[in-house]
Amino acid sequence: MEIDHIVPESLGGPTTRENLWLACSMCNDHKGSRIAAADPITGTVVRLFDPRRQRWTEHFEWSVEGDAILGKTAIGRATVGALRLNRVELVEARRGWIIAGWHPPAT
């Protein structure tokens, strides 16, 4: 895990608790210095999900199988796409966690 600036330092984001969050290195690499991305359904550019100020369950849900994250809102869909939250390796890991009884997490 890495400490991520929700609003990147390059865009003026401060190094304060309110602007810091833990992200895995691959998600953080995909996020890069972005704070916004296009909703794949409407094409509208929206802010990425802010884990400090927004609720996960408002913007995301697990697929019926439990192995994929689905965006419920424009912010959720844009974030799933931008951070590639359903990368093959993540989906495969989640399938293993389901078999082990560790996933999906309680929300």
Q: Which residues bind Zn ion (CB under 5 A)?
A: 24, 27
Contacts of 80 (CB under 8 A, 6+ apart): 60, 69, 70, 71, 86
Least distance to Zn ion, CB of residue 40, Å? 19
Residue placing its CB nearer to Zn ion in the complex, 42 or 103: 103
Q: What are phi and psi of 42, to 5 degrees?
A: -100, -20
Least distance to Zn ion, CB of residue 49, Å? 13
Residue placing its CB nearer to Zn ion in the complex, 7 or 90: 90
Contact 95, 102 (CB under 8 A): no
Contact 91, 69 (CB under 8 A): no
Least distance to Zn ion, CB of residue 82, Å? 12
Residue placing its CB nearer to Zn ion in the complex, 43 or 88: 88
